[in-house]
């Protein structure tokens, strides 16, 4: 069942658009403006929860006749963050626009026959966003981020148990690549051998259209951070080739349970990328799939992967 309802309706609007980075959550809220005649499109993406309602103060109760119309009504209110719809009969509904959401008011979520609760689609809707059964995930609807509130003993920002921050999950794990540069650089052990900095040996992929390097962690982990040590003793131009490399976490195979951890920025001698949330996976991929101005190759000394066992 598809629980994501996308609405794309012509509307009299001005934009109040929030761009969300790398998250499931997306909100493009539109606000009606009767003074402009410009017709454009807006949407709100919601997640459906059948048989429940959120029992909080009602912000607005517009006259609507369908679920879709009621959801569309929420777009008009900058502080509408969830919706209750009560199907009265075949062609009428009670539409309740709410300022609260189920995350901040979990105790007010109740079973209610005939009701459907819609919440704004957000990372917090996904069970694995904060890694603990008693977590509370607080969405930020403005920039799409979230905050994990965890029981005391679970201390990090992902609700993962405090762990040894020096534990590198990639250490001595096998790597594969798109192709070796110039038929040389076939041995990929240097990229996970724990040796970086002065005197390290780097790996070097062929200048393919979309070069990649994968590290097989062997077991399922929650991955939270990927550090890259660049090759040494070369020019900044070459070092900068590492920029804009996409870092993915994948599951059973590179095309399964694939999620973007981040895109490399800064450095270029050392680049640390923190994932927006703890990503479950068995492998990490560095790839340069988009056309770039700065060399289509990956040549680095070491990749270190941090997180916790799943």
DSSP letter at 206 equals: -
Per CB under 6 A, contacts with ligand NAG among 266-285 are none
Select 145 or 178, whichever has its Cβ closest to ligand NAG. 145
Q: Are 206 and 213 in contact (CB under 8 A)?
A: no
Cβ neighbours around 172 below 10 Å, total: 9
**Residue 193 interacting with ligand NAG (CB under 6 A):** no
The distance of closest approach from Cβ of residue 100 to ligand NAG in the complex, given in angstroms and rounded to an integer, is 5
Select 68 or 108, whichever has its Cβ closest to ligand NAG. 108
Q: Are 51 and 117 in contact (CB under 8 A)?
A: no
**50, 57, 252, 309: which one binds ligand NAG (CB under 6 A):** 57
Q: Are 229 and 270 in contact (CB under 8 A)?
A: yes
C-alpha distances (whole Å) from 218 to each of 168, 174, 251, 278 are: 13, 9, 10, 17
**14, 18, 55, 126: which one binds ligand NAG (CB under 6 A):** 55
Q: For residue 62, count CB atoms less than 10 angstroms from its CB and return exposed for 0-12, middle for 13-18, buried for 19 or more.
A: middle
The distance of closest approach from Cβ of residue 57 to ligand NAG in the complex, given in angstroms and rounded to an integer, is 5
3 state SS of 79: coil
Q: Are 273 and 261 in contact (CB under 8 A)?
A: yes
Q: Are 229 and 264 in contact (CB under 8 A)?
A: no
Select 17 or 186, whichever has its Cβ closest to ligand NAG. 17
The distance of closest approach from Cβ of residue 110 to ligand NAG in the complex, given in angstroms and rounded to an integer, is 9
The distance of closest approach from Cβ of residue 98 to ligand NAG in the complex, given in angstroms and rounded to an integer, is 9
- Candidate segments 8-16, 137-145, 156-164, 191-199, binder of ligand NAG by CB under 6 A: 137-145
C-alpha distances (whole Å) from 148 to each of 29, 270, 306 are: 24, 28, 19
The distance of closest approach from Cβ of residue 194 to ligand NAG in the complex, given in angstroms and rounded to an integer, is 32
Select 106 or 155, whichever has its Cβ closest to ligand NAG. 106
Select 108 or 168, whichever has its Cβ closest to ligand NAG. 108
For residue 148, give both structure tokens. 């994990």
Number of residues that bind ligand NAG (CB under 6 A): 9
Residue nearest to ligand NAG (CB): 56
Cβ neighbours around 195 below 10 Å, total: 15
Per-residue binding letters, 93-132, with ligand NAG (x by CB under 6 A): -------x----x--x------------------------
Q: For residue 5, count CB atoms less than 10 angstroms from its CB and return exposed for 0-12, middle for 13-18, buried for 19 or more.
A: middle
Select 145 or 177, whichever has its Cβ closest to ligand NAG. 145
Q: Which residues bind ligand NAG (CB under 6 A)?
A: 55-57, 100, 105, 108, 140, 143, 145
């Amino acid at each position: 069942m598809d629980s994501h309802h996308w609405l794309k309706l012509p509307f009299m609007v001005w934009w109040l658009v929030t761009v969300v980075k790398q998250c499931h959550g997306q909100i493009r809220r539109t606000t009606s403006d009767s003074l402009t005649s410009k017709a454009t499109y807006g949407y709100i993406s919601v997640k459906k929860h059948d048989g429940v309602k959120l029992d909080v103060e009602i912000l607005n109760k517009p006259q609507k006749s369908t679920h879709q119309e009621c959801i569309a009504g929420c777009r008009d209110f900058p502080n509408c963050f969830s919706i209750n719809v009560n199907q009265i009969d075949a062609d009428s509904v009670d539409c309740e626009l709410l300022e609260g959401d189920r995350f901040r008011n979990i105790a007010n979520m109740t079973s209610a026959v005939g009701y459907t609760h819609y919440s704004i689609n957000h990372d917090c809707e996904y069970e694995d966003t904060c890694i603990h059964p008693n977590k509370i995930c607080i969405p930020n609807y403005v920039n799409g981020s979230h905050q994990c509130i965890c029981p005391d003993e679970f201390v990090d920002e992902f609700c993962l148990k405090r762990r040894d921050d020096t534990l590198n999950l990639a250490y001595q794990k096998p790597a594969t690549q798109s192709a070796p540069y110039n038929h040389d650089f076939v041995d990929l052990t240097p990229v996970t051998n724990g040796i970086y900095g002065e005197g390290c040996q780097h790996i070097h992929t062929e200048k393919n259209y979309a070069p990649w390097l994968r590290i097989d962690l062997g077991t399922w982990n929650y991955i939270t951070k990927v550090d890259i040590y660049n090759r040494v003793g070369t020019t900044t131009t070459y070092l900068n080739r590492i920029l804009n490399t996409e870092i993915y976490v994948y599951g059973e195979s590179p095309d399964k349970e694939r999620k973007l951890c981040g895109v490399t920025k800064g450095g270029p001698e050392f680049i640390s990328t923190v994932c927006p949330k703890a990503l479950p996976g068995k492998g990490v991929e560095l790839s340069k799939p988009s056309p770039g101005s700065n060399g289509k190759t990956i040549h680095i000394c070491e990749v270190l992967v941090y997180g916790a066992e799943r």
